[in-house]
């Protein structure tokens, strides 16, 4: 009976994805254990460390269909770890005493950590796929709305104009940085572990590093330069990466929620019949995806903090911090996958109301371009005098509702320097977009 939202039949595909759940399932994790044990036997048989017939027999029994999960559950509860239970089942399946060579020279943590890295490798492939889809959606928005003017906002107040393409491109640039982070961290993170009891490979004598190198080659993982049983920066780095990535997704959801407000109504989540409706208010169109993105990304950050506790481990094999990872790491990936899936669909189907954006630029009667006016008057009046004069006029605009351009044109200190036509140009929000378009182009050029 599922008890959490991540496993709930009702909620699980809102907060995570089937593909990511599979990667962190009991079956996938156990299959990784078996793949490692089979590869270890194969390598050791090839190097003459264990008998070749034992290696073949062990490898033949390392099949997920051979594992009794009810028995494994009981073994894990008794022993405290699942790896030994898996090994015991393999040994029992092998002919004669050939199975006794299984797990030769390894320790539980070698298999557990290497399996975790294999899960991370598969999970990062899913993460990357959805990152690319989000980036593609943002690139399309930046391209289509390169020159679509809208209000830039500071402290939730209209500040100066920008373009919706610029807004999308700032987020796209963040996704590009996340892409670089992912590329950089893979060689550091996708490194296996095989060190024996305290990491010195003493159980294999002079053959230890040869076995380690061959095993990692078999598994397609990097070879560690030294054991990392209780030095957990690799796991911490991938978690922190997901914290940064989902922080950007949370930013996207926050802006969409605010822009969907009735009084703003500049963008909308993709329309689906009945989605976001209220049980009592038929007119409502709630930002459902953004709500879920906000929730999942907040939880990712909390789990990252918990997981980093595992970095404070005692001596060469820890007494508890390690187990934090067993809980936190899968949930970080599951929640991140849910946030990415919701964001992917959101940005690729986002509805943009360019006309409403333009209309909202006019609600301050021109005050949104007061900076442009101040800068235009600065050469004639001096910056501070221009600032104070425009400030007083903007207060009059707010009080009377008279358009800014009208009050500017009536002021003799201004009209003697700037014509009505010049003032109208200064008061056009679409004319005060700075280098937004050029910056959008730079981000899009990186995408191409």
Give the integer Cα–Cα distance in Å for 410 and 401. 15
- Domain at 359-434, CATH class: mainly alpha
- Lowest pLDDT segment from 53-67, 210-224, 251-265, 422-436: 422-436
Q: What percent of the chain has pLDDT over 70?
A: 98
pLDDT grade for 283, boundaries at 50, 70 and 90: low
**Which residue do the tokens 């009794």 mark?**
68
Mean of the per-residue pLDDT values for the chain?
94
The confidence score (pLDDT) of residue 32 equals 98
Confidence at residue 280, expressed as pLDDT on a 0 to 100 scale: 66
DSSP secondary structure of 364-386: TTTGGGHHHHHHHHHHHH-HHHH
Task: Give the residue extent of every domain in the chain.
Answer: 18-104, 117-149+164-198+222-354+435-448, 359-434
What pLDDT, on a 0 to 100 scale, did the predictor assign at position 282?
65
Q: Is 278 a catalytic residue?
A: yes
Q: What whole-number distance in Å separates Cα of residue 356 and Cα of residue 382?
A: 36
318 catalytic residue (yes or no): no
pLDDT, tens digit (0-9, with 9 covering 90-100), for 67-81: 999 999 999 999 999
Region for 429 from its dihedrals, namely left if φ exceeds 0, alpha if ψ lies in -120 to 50, beta otherwise: alpha
* Lowest mean pLDDT across 138-142, 170-174, 185-189, 390-394: 390-394
Report how many helices (DSSP H) and strands (DSSP E) the chain contains, helices first.
19, 4
The CATH architecture annotation of domain 18-104 reads Orthogonal Bundle (1.10)
- With H, G, I as helix, E, B as strand and everything else as coil, classify residue 349: coil
Residue 27 pLDDT > 60: yes
Note the pLDDT tens digit of each residue in 336-352.
999 999 999 999 999 99
Q: Tokens for 384, please give them.
A: 């501070």
Average pLDDT score over residue span 11-26: 95
Residue 377 has a pLDDT of: 87
Among the ranges given (9-18, 276-285, 390-399), the one the predictor scored with the smallest mean pLDDT: 276-285
Predicted TM-score (pTM) of the model is 0.93
Instruction: pLDDT band for 279, please (50, 70, 90 cuts).
Output: low
Least confident of 24-33, 271-280, 287-296, 373-382: 271-280
Check 278, 383, 410, 420 and give the catalytic one: 278
For domain 117-149+164-198+222-354+435-448, say whether CATH 3.40.50.2300 is its number. no
Q: How far is CA 42 from the centre of its chain?
A: 37
Q: Are 267 and 252 in contact (CB under 8 A)?
A: no
pLDDT at 26 over 90: yes
Contact 132, 46 (CB under 8 A): no
Q: Mean pLDDT throughout 278-295?
A: 81
Catalytic residue among 143, 179, 317, 385: 317
pLDDT band at 167 (very low <50, low <70, confident <90, very high): very high
pLDDT value at 413 more than 80: yes
**Would you state the pLDDT for residue 199?**
95
pLDDT higher than 80, residue 22: yes
Q: Is the pLDDT of residue 276 over 80?
A: no
Q: Give the pLDDT confidence score for residue 284 in this predicted structure.
A: 64
Helix (H, G, I), strand (E, B) or coil at 80: coil
Which pLDDT score is estimated for 414? 87
What is the pLDDT at residue 285? 78
Q: Which helix (H) or strand (E) holds 181?
A: helix 164-189
Give which of 301, 278, 300 is closest to 288, Cα–Cα: 278
């Amino acid at each position: 009976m599922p008890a959490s939202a991540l496993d709930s039949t009702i909620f699980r595909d809102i907060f995570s994805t089937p593909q990511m759940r599979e990667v962190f399932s009991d079956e996938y994790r156990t299959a990784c254990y078996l793949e490692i044990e089979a590869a270890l036997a194969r390598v050791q048989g090839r190097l003459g460390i264990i008998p070749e017939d034992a290696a073949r027999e062990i490898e033949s029994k390392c099949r997920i269909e051979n594992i009794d999960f009810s028995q494994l559950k009981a073994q894990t509860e008794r022993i405290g770890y699942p790896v030994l239970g898996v090994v015991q089942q393999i040994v029992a399946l092998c002919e004669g005493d050939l199975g006794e060579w299984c797990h030769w020279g390894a320790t539980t943590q070698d298999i557990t950590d290497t399996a975790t890295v294999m899960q991370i490798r598969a999970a990062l492939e899913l993460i990357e796929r959805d990152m690319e889809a989000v980036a593609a959606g943002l690139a399309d928005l930046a391209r289509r709305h390169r020159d679509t003017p809208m209000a830039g906002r500071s402290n939730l107040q209209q500040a100066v104009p920008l373009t919706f393409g610029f807004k999308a491109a700032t987020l796209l640039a963040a996704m590009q940085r996340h892409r670089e982070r992912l590329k950089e961290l893979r060689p550091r993170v996708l490194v296996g572990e095989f060190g024996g009891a305290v990491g010195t490979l003493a159980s294999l004598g002079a053959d230890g590093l040869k076995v380690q190198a061959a095993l990692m080659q078999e598994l397609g993982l990097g070879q560690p330069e030294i054991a990392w049983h209780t030095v957990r920066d690799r796991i911490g780095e991938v978690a922190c990466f997901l914290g940064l990535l989902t922080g950007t997704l949370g930013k996207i959801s926050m802006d969409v929620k605010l822009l969907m407000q009735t009084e703003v109504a500049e963008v909308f989540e993709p329309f689906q019949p009945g989605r976001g409706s209220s049980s009592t208010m038929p007119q409502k169109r709630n930002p459902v995806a953004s709500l879920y993105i906000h929730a999942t990304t907040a939880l990712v950050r909390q789990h990252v903090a918990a997981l980093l506790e595992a970095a404070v481990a005692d001596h060469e094999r820890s007494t508890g911090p390690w187990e934090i990872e067993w809980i936190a790491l899968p949930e970080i990936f599951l929640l991140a996958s849910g946030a990415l899936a919701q964001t992917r669909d959101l940005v690729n189907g986002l509805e943009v109301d360019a006309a409403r954006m333009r209309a909202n630029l006019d609600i301050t009667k021109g005050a949104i371009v007061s900076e442009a006016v101040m800068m235009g008057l600065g050469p004639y009046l001096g910056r501070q005098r221009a600032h104070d004069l425009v400030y007083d006029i903007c207060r009059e605009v707010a009080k009377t509702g008279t358009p800014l351009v009208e009050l500017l044109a009536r002021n003799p200190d201004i009209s003697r320097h700037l014509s009505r036509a010049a003032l109208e140009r200064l008061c056009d929000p679409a004319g005060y977009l700075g280098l937004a378009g050029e910056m959008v182009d730079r981000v899009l050029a990186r995408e191409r």
